[in-house]
């Protein structure tokens, strides 16, 4: 639902929240991975890259990258590994030591020890190794999160930075929390089956009835307005392979502002055919960093797109102007897959909001370049936070996987969103007049900057000398 909009925006807003301090090291707000059941804090100011990358022996879940302004940016990597047979943590540590010896034949393992990590069996090791004319180091920590399943935190760096890196690494490791799952595997399977059956019950006529007129919402952090989103929904057509498909189109445009120096515009356009088997979307996120002193203004643009035809999804994304579009491998989708349009309309498509139930779906996540599970808990009638009690509301908890902190969504009896609360921010209904009063000067300024960015990009793409 609207939490899908917030999930993108909170990535930018998260850095503006007050960082935590652990043993004199400042850390950012927790990153939650509900699919693998953990949270972890990156060093404050570091970029968090969530793209999953299957490797030969493990899957990279997360990269924490120091600011590009650093001379030799440090990188912390979180990986997931499985074992084909049960292993003690002692065995796992011995295999890790052997792996270092195979990968880095001249490495010297300096320390290795067993260590409980957030109450679970774990181990750590530190090694140094030569590379060219310099000495480098590796820090590695392993924690067993389930039988034959392990999370690993790894860092490789230049020997000269080791003394300053180790306290940061230890603070990040200490921030790792393993999240208790409120659902058994059987309960999740039942929820996914219920979600699939609900999807099968939806038709084109129901989609049309669920459409709303234009909507406006305000984003707040700590009670302070920091941005907004405007949403437009309509019946539409999409032409593909000389055939016109009737369906629903949703367009969303949001602006968020970090202090006085950063403005971010996100635009989403998505289409779903009435037969629910054709889907298309595009997402553009443009960021403008104002000039400040000797620093010139800076622009960045990320872009994502996807096209689904029946149960096959093709998609691609780029995080930056300077990076070419990366096309993902085509995905064959399960019956539990939910489209973006259905996610947006879901509260207004659900009957009997007062009835407690649980639905689960899988959706595509560009940052992970793969499918993730979303679990929705319909908990029935609830008091609306901040209201006087006269407003009737129904609460829905929306979480990734079975363990992440849920977003709380409050809707009225027709499924219209009254409030969304996440750890980072809240979203409440607004009016066009309110948005103009709060943000119009900054939006006009941002629009002018984005126009300069688009013009410069167009010019850079045409710097080719034509043939004679």
Q: What is the pLDDT of residues 145-154, one digit of tens each?
A: 888 889 999 9
Of the given ranges (216-225, 235-244, 265-274, 440-449), which has the lowest mean pLDDT? Answer: 235-244
Tell me the angle at which helices 3-13 and 340-349 cross, rounded to the nearest 10 degrees: 120
Contacts of 111 (CB under 8 A, 6+ apart): 124, 125, 126
pLDDT (0 to 100) of residue 14:
42
Q: For residues 255 and 383, what is the distance between their CA atoms, to the nearest angstrom?
A: 29
Q: Please tell me the predicted confidence (pLDDT) of residue 70.
A: 63
342 class by beta-carbon count within 10 Å (0-12 exposed, 13-18 middle, 19+ buried)? buried
Encoded tokens for 401: 């996987």
Indicate if the pLDDT at residue 12 is higher than 50. no
Q: Identify the burial level of 103 via C-beta atoms within 10 angstroms of its C-beta, where 0-12 means exposed, 13-18 middle and 19 or more buried.
A: exposed
pLDDT-wise least confident of 32-36, 286-290, 315-319: 32-36
Average pLDDT, integer, range 400-421: 87
pLDDT band for 68, please (50, 70, 90 cuts).
Answer: low
With 50 as the cut, is the pLDDT of residue 463 above it? no
Question: How confident is the model over 65-81, as a mean pLDDT?
Answer: 84
The pair of structure tokens assigned to 66 is 């120091």
Q: Is the pLDDT of residue 123 over 80?
A: yes
Tokens of 31: 């990153």
- In this structure, the chain runs to a length of 468
**Cα distances (angstroms) measured from residue 343 to each of 171, 252, 348:** 37, 13, 10
Asked if 384 contacts 418 with a C-beta cutoff of 8 angstroms, the reply is: yes
With beta carbons less than 8 A apart as the criterion, state whether 67 and 47 touch. Answer: yes
Is the pLDDT at 231 greater than 60? The verdict is: yes
Q: Which of 240, 120, 244, 249 is nearest to 180 (CA)?
A: 120
Segment 336-360 shows an average pLDDT of 93
Q: Which residue matches tokens 């889907």? A: 279
- What pLDDT shows up at residue 18? 46
Q: What percent of the chain has pLDDT over 70?
A: 90
Task: List the one residue out of 150, 187, 131 whose CA is nearest residue 37.
Answer: 150
pLDDT for 434 equals: 96
Whether pLDDT at 402 is above 90: no
What would the two tokens of residue 38 be? Answer: 């953990």
Q: How many beta carbons lie within 10 A of that of residue 431, not counting itself?
A: 10
pLDDT of res. 431? 95
* Tens-digit pLDDT profile for residues 437-462: 999 999 999 999 888 877 777 666 55
* Residue 241: predicted pLDDT: 74
pLDDT tens per residue across span 255-310: 999 888 899 999 999 999 999 999 999 999 999 888 877 778 888 888 999 999 99
Whether the per-residue pLDDT at 196 is higher than 80: the answer is yes
Distance CA 7, CA 22 (A): 26
What is the C-alpha separation between 404 and 407, in angstroms, rounded? 9
Q: How confident is the model at residue 392 (pLDDT cuts 50, 70, 90)?
A: confident
For 99, other C-beta atoms within 10 Å of its C-beta total 12
């Amino acid at each position: 639902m609207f939490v899908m909009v917030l999930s993108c925006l909170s990535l930018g807003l998260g850095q503006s929240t007050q960082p935590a301090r652990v043993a004199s090291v400042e850390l950012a707000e927790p990153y939650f991975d509900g699919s693998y059941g953990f949270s972890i804090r990156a060093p404050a100011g570091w970029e968090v890259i969530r793209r999953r990358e299957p490797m030969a022996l493990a899957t990279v879940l997360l990269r924490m990258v120091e600011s590009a302004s650093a001379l030799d940016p440090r990188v912390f990597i979180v990986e997931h590994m499985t074992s084909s047979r049960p292993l003690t943590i002692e065995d796992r540590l011995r295999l890790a030591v052997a792996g270092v010896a195979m990968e880095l034949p001249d490495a010297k393992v300096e320390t290795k020890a067993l260590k409980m990590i957030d109450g679970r069996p774990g181990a750590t090791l530190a090694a140094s190794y030569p590379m060219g004319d310099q000495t480098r180091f590796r820090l590695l920590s392993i924690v067993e999160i389930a039988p034959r399943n392990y999370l690993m935190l790894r860092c490789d760096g230049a020997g000269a930075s080791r003394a300053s890196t180790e306290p940061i690494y230890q603070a990040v490791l200490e921030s790792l929390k393993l999240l208790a799952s409120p659902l058994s595997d059987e309960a999740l399977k039942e929820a996914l089956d219920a979600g699939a059956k609900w999807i099968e019950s939806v038709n084109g006529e129901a989609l049309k009835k669920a459409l709303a007129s234009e909507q406006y919402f305000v984003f707040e952090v700590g009670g302070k307005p920091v941005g907004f989103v405007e949403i437009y929904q309509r019946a539409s057509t999409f032409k593909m392979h000389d055939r016109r498909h009737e369906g629903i189109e949703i367009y969303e445009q949001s602006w968020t502002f970090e202090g006085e120096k950063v403005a971010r515009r996100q635009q989403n356009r998505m289409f779903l055919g009435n037969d629910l088997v054709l889907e298309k979307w595009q997402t553009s996120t443009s960021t403008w960093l104002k000039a400040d002193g000797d620093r010139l203004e800076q622009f960045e643009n990320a872009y994502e797109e996807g096209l689904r035809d029946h149960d096959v999804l093709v998609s691609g994304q780029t995080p930056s102007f300077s990076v070419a579009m990366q096309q993902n491998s085509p995905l064959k989708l399960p019956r539990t897959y939910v489209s973006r349009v259905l996610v947006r309309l879901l509260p207004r498509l659900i009957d009997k909001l007062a009835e407690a139930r649980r639905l689960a779906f899988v959706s595509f996540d560009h940052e992970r370049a793969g499918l993730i599970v979303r679990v929705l808990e319909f908990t029935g009638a609830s008091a609306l936070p901040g209201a006087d009690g006269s407003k009737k509301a129904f609460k829905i908890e929306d979480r990734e996987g079975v363990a992440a902190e849920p977003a709380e969504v409050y809707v009225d009896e027709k499924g219209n969103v009254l409030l969304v609360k996440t750890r980072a921010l809240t979203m409440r209904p607004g009016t066009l007049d309110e948005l103009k009063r709060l943000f119009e000067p900054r939006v006009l300024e941002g629009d002018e900057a984005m126009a300069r960015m688009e013009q410069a990009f167009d010019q850079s793409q045409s710097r080719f000398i034509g043939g004679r």
